[in-house]
A and B are shown apart, each in its own frame.
Chain A
Amino acid sequence: MRGLFKGDGGLSVLSSLVAVIAGLLVGLVVLLLTDASQAFPAFINILTAGFQSIRNFGEVLYFATPIILTGLSVGFAMKTGLFNIGAAGQFTFGAYVAVLIGVQATFLPPPVRLLVSLLAAMLAGALWGAIPGLLKAFRNVHEVISCIMTNWIGIFLVNWLILNTIFDAERNSTMRVPAAANMPGLGLGEFFQGDAIRPSSVNSGILIAILTAIVVYIILEKTKFGYELKACGFNQDAAKYAGISEKRNIVLSMMISGAIAGLGGALHFLSGAGITMNVANVLSSEGFTGISVALLGLNNPIGIIFGGLLIAYLHLGGFQMQVFGFVPEIIEIVTAVIIYFCAFVLLVKMMLTRAAQKSAAQKPPDGAGPPDSNKEGGQG
């Protein structure tokens, strides 16, 4: 446990955990206020649902797929100093293009069509991300504001496009993509079926999500390009002084971020689970959940995988809330509280640091290391 306190990384993970625990505690209080007799069984169910059966765990992986990608989208931009609150719009735009190709490009054999769908979704997401990127780079418009605008423009534009291309009036949503042009299951659904009647909805999308996280990690940590992007994020002027084209990097960064979110949209709606895009004036929740995933994952691509799994895990617990007479939205409340606490993650860190310093000061060194090393860890 001592080791965890050493170094900044461990402390950050700990502050993320504090945020999650705070969110869960608020959730518990809400449950207690609603119906005290059922609160504890329901709460325990939230904590255990994902591991109750192998199929449940498969569902966690399925729910995690799109939000890992939107999380990566937000986290990648954050690493380069940009707050991509526009993942919702990029996600929707990518999803639309993917479904459009899946439904209409019947001249392509299904596996090719799927590949084209995914690539086109990334391109669409990148284009939608490029708008705030260009505005930021060349017109100094804050990306949060322009992303909010592009989110809503995206919703209305996609609604209009759906109505004029692949609209199924009976279900007020897009037509279904034929099974062969969806993401292949690779037997994952059956593997995670367990003794359940239906196979799990998990599919090869989760593998793409994890692969994307690894690619993002490599780009950011192991390439010169990634270094330049991060340099712009740390200090734009210094990066410029060092000969890095900060304008180009801002645009590229937003485009990559958008492409990842667009891919998330494609994987979500080509999952083969039978969901279609509705025509509604509502922002996709996956885009905003991506923000919480990125925050929990500390913007680290590998951390984001776990952040996505965690949020998906909670959501699965939420679906079962009705069994106990509760409303599933309790999980949204918990998630919102987690985000709220993530907002002052720095403060949590500071408090933890102080606590660590205090305990180090009170207890004499236990021989595991010289007192200096403890102090150093506390300050980190």
Chain B
Amino acid sequence: MAGLYITTLYFVMQQTFFFTIPLLIVALGGMFSERAGIVNIALEGKMLLGAFTSIFFINQVQNSGAALDGHALLLVALLVAAATGVIAGLFHAYATISLNANQIISGVAINMFAPAFAIYIARIFGDTQQVFFTNNFRIESVPFFGSIPFIGPLFFQNTYFTTYLGFVILAVSTFVIYRTKFGLRLRACGEHPHAADSVGVNVYKIRYAGVLISGALAGMGGLIFIIPTAVAFNATVSGYGFLALAVLIFGAWRPQRILFAAFFFGLLQAVAAGHSGIAFLRDLRIPMQFYQMVPFVATLVVLAITSTKSTKNAAPKAVGQPYDKGTR
């Protein structure tokens, strides 16, 4: 019996990473944009576009019989996804930073454009809107680490290298945000752009950088989400871009807390997806939809508690406000 529980634990943990890592990466992307002062509700659209172009790329390469395969292919596909996100980010940045456009409306436009574009292109090249791929990227067990008892099956079996990439991105993001000149300037642009400008920081440039980094991470997150959880890309990332936005807020716009939030929400997603296969969860008889709802309810509750007073958990002060040099 104990053996059954332990296999269940391994299973849930492995599944949790499939959801946690994309949420983490996309939310970190959101962080770069919002801490620079640009609201990014287009995370969903950028995720979707990144997932689409990169899965499409994988599909084409695999069908062409090219030698590129396995992890090398996945790595190139990640670059394709990131580049796509950057292009989508350019549109968002140009509208919101260069033209002072409404940041929400621009985001809505990108979110609307993404699935339409994916379906349109997919159906030009194939008969259906689905883009299939062969999953050659799974790692059964990481050499050496996978064979460690307990730790191995929890963290190093049935996994993808993207999982570890996620942690690398987390470490780099934390370093960049808190330990570099660029990070300091980025945060200043999100808190008080006029002050940043007065000491010679180019607010427009920094904000562009924030939005473009955001696009790259969101695009990669899209691919990383689709690979372990689907056999084909069907013009959707199932609202995970919005969930990442919730992670960002629940994580108070700070990297370590974002990791915690992503893990918590990822666990709930894993439970929602697999709860019928897990005996003791099945016995609880909690409907799947409630697990799906909890992240959003929790975020609302956190917002309701923190938004009025404590500045510790609050959003960047200047987020959502176009920067106008003239009002300095």
Contacts and interface: CB of A to CB of B under 8 A. Distances in A.
A283 interface: yes
Contacts of B111: 288
Interface stretch (B112-120, B221-229, B252-260): B112-120
Interface residues of B, number: 48
Contacts of A157: 289, 293
A330 B297 contact: no
B124 A327 contact: yes
B123 to A, nearest CB: 5
A13 interface: no
A85 interface: yes
B91 interface: yes
Nearest to B272: A156
A336 B109 contact: yes
B162 to A, nearest CB: 23
Interface in A135-162: 135, 139-142, 144-146, 148-153, 156-157, 159-160
Interface string A239-276: 00000000000000000000000000000000000000
Interface of B is mostly: helix
Interface residues of A, number: 46
Interface in B214-244: 236, 238-239, 242-243
B56 to A, nearest CB: 15
B2 interface: no
A219 interface: no
B304 A343 contact: no
A333 B308 contact: no
B239 A152 contact: yes
A233 B184 CA distance: 35
Contacts, number: 136
Nearest to A139: B304
A159 B236 CA distance: 18
B109 A339 contact: yes
Contact of A330 (B108, B120, B290, B308): B120
Interface string A320-335: 0000000101101101
Nearest to A134: B304
Contacts of A156: 289-290, 292-293
User: Main SS of the interface on chain A?
Assistant: helix
Contact of A160 (B116, B287, B315): B287
Interface string A280-298: 0111000010011001000
B299 A149 contact: yes
A175 interface: no
A332 B112 CA distance: 7
B303 A30 contact: no
A333 B105 contact: no
Contact of A340 (B106, B239, B296): B106
Contacts of A313: none
A83 interface: yes
Given A34-B124, A145-B303, A336-B110, A140 B308 contact: yes
A153 B246 CA distance: 12
Q: Sorted from nearest, which 9 A-B pairs have the closest CB atoms?
A: A332-B116, A336-B113, A340-B109, A344-B101, A160-B289, A343-B105, A339-B109, A343-B101, A336-B112
28 contacts: A131-B300, A135-B300, A135-B304, A139-B304, A141-B300, A144-B104, A146-B300, A149-B246, A149-B296, A149-B299, A153-B297, A153-B300, A160-B287, A160-B290, A281-B238, A329-B117, A330-B116, A336-B109, A337-B113, A339-B105, A339-B109, A340-B109, A342-B105, A342-B109, A343-B95, A344-B100, A346-B100, A347-B99
Interface of B: 39, 41, 91, 95-96, 99-102, 104-106, 108-113, 115-117, 119-120, 123-124, 236, 238-239, 242-243, 245-246, 249, 287, 289-290, 292-293, 296-297, 299-300, 303-304, 307-308, 315, 320
Interface of A: 30, 34, 83, 85, 131, 135, 139-142, 144-146, 148-153, 156-157, 159-160, 163, 281-283, 288, 291-292, 295, 327, 329-330, 332-333, 335-337, 339-340, 342-344, 346-347
